[in-house]
Amino acid sequence: METLELRVQKTGWISKIKEIRRYPLIPITVLLIVLVIPAAFAPLVAPHDPYKGGLSSRLIPPVWESEGSSKHLLGTDKMGRDVLSKIIYGARISVIIAGISILVSGALGTVLGLIAGYFGGWVDAIIMRLVDISLSIPIVLFALVLASVLGPSQTTVVTVVVVLLWSRYARLIRGETLTVVIQDYILRAKVSGSSDMRIIFKHVLPNVANSLLVLATLQVGFVIILEATLSFLGAGIPRPTPAWGLMVADGRDLVISAWWVSLFPGIAIMLVVLGMNLLGDWLRDRLDPKQRQI
């Protein structure tokens, strides 16, 4: 009797483990530790003020090095500012930039994609030509020109990202809309007298929402890399704001003597982008009916 009960308990634990393994626990854990918690609770978890430093504490190596200090676990930069604290506050900058950029570009691209796919004709042709123009813009050159006019700022980064990303949403949503508008329930809605806007936002949009969610998730990592690239080139977040791209740029001349200045923010960027890509792949597999049948 005891053996049977043990077998039942063991089977129950195995089924629970299998159920848990279906979820992307590793990417979610990495994102929580590196991005979400630091961004939400930066003043509480950061050991130091990221803006304050001192010449007496400049270029202190990480704690495991012979000259390291327990006060600065990941060392300090050339201005004596704590690297770990700058990484924590840099996560907040990345979340703000990615959130605003994806929200604006996603809303704009989705609306234009729905209009192009639903109405077709000359409306579709005009919107798609705008998409082609947006995709052909050399983004780095555009960012440098915009930064020289407006100056490096968060507004500049958001503007560059929106100009680049809205066309990707528009193209995807337009393609999804073309497959939805030919369905019978859309034709019945038209016959019943429903307005075009009602059909678009009540019948078409819910059917393309899964693809929109997957694309938005995958774009988070791309936006973080783009923001870091622009900041590295001097066309993004201005100093002394603690941004990951700026931290990598500040340490490029110190790769040999003070490798930790640029290495750790680079690792943070890599972990966040990898975690978001894995999470996006999982969402695509879960939300795509074709993938669920495999």
pLDDT tens-place string over residues 170-226 = 999 998 888 888 888 888 888 887 788 888 888 888 888 888 888 888 888 888 888
* In a domain? residue 12: no
* In a domain? residue 51: no
**pLDDT exceeds cutoff 80 at 14:** no
* In a domain? residue 27: no
* pLDDT range class, residue 239, cuts 50, 70, 90: confident
pLDDT digits (tens, 9 = 90+) for 122-144: 888 999 999 988 888 887 777 77
Domain count, the chain: 1
pLDDT mean over 27-35: 88
DSSP 104-140: HHHHHHHHHHHHHHHH-HHHHHHHHHHHHHHHHS-HH
pLDDT mean over 3-29: 62
Q: Which residues constitute the domain of residue 96?
A: 35-44+56-292
**pLDDT exceeds cutoff 60 at 23:** yes
* In a domain? residue 16: no
State phi, psi for 82 to the nearest 5 degrees: -70, 125
Between 210 and 5, name the one with better pLDDT.
210
Among 5-9, 63-67, 164-168, the range scoring the smallest mean pLDDT is 5-9
State phi, psi for 239 to the nearest 5 degrees: -70, 150
Cα–Cα distance between 56 and 80 in angstroms, integer? 7
* In a domain? residue 23: no
Copy the structure tokens of residue 97.
Answer: 């930039």
pLDDT digits (tens, 9 = 90+) for 250-283: 888 888 888 888 889 989 989 998 988 888 888 8
* In a domain? residue 4: no
Nearest-CA neighbor of 248 among 231, 269, 263, 262? 262
Between 14 and 214, name the one with better pLDDT.
214
**pLDDT exceeds cutoff 70 at 284:** yes
* pLDDT range class, residue 104, cuts 50, 70, 90: very high
Tally Cβ neighbours within 10 Å of residue 57: 19
**pLDDT value at residue 112:** 92
Copy the structure tokens of residue 76.
Answer: 């300090």
Tally Cβ neighbours within 10 Å of residue 143: 26
* In a domain? residue 24: no
pTM: 0.81
Cα–Cα distance between 224 and 76 in angstroms, integer? 23
**pLDDT value at residue 292:** 47
* pLDDT range class, residue 103, cuts 50, 70, 90: very high
**Percent of the chain residues past pLDDT 90, beyond the cut:** 9
Cα–Cα distance between 70 and 50 in angstroms, integer? 17
Tally Cβ neighbours within 10 Å of residue 8: 10
Nearest-CA neighbor of 31 among 162, 214, 232, 217? 217
**Percent of the chain residues past pLDDT 70, beyond the cut:** 90
**pLDDT value at residue 109:** 92
| CATH number, residue 263 | 1.10.3720.10
Between 294 and 33, name the one with better pLDDT.
33
Contact of 208 with 287, CB cutoff 8 Å:
no
Contact of 173 with 211, CB cutoff 8 Å:
yes
* In a domain? residue 92: yes
**pLDDT exceeds cutoff 50 at 8:** no
**pLDDT value at residue 21:** 58
Copy the structure tokens of residue 241.
Answer: 């704001």
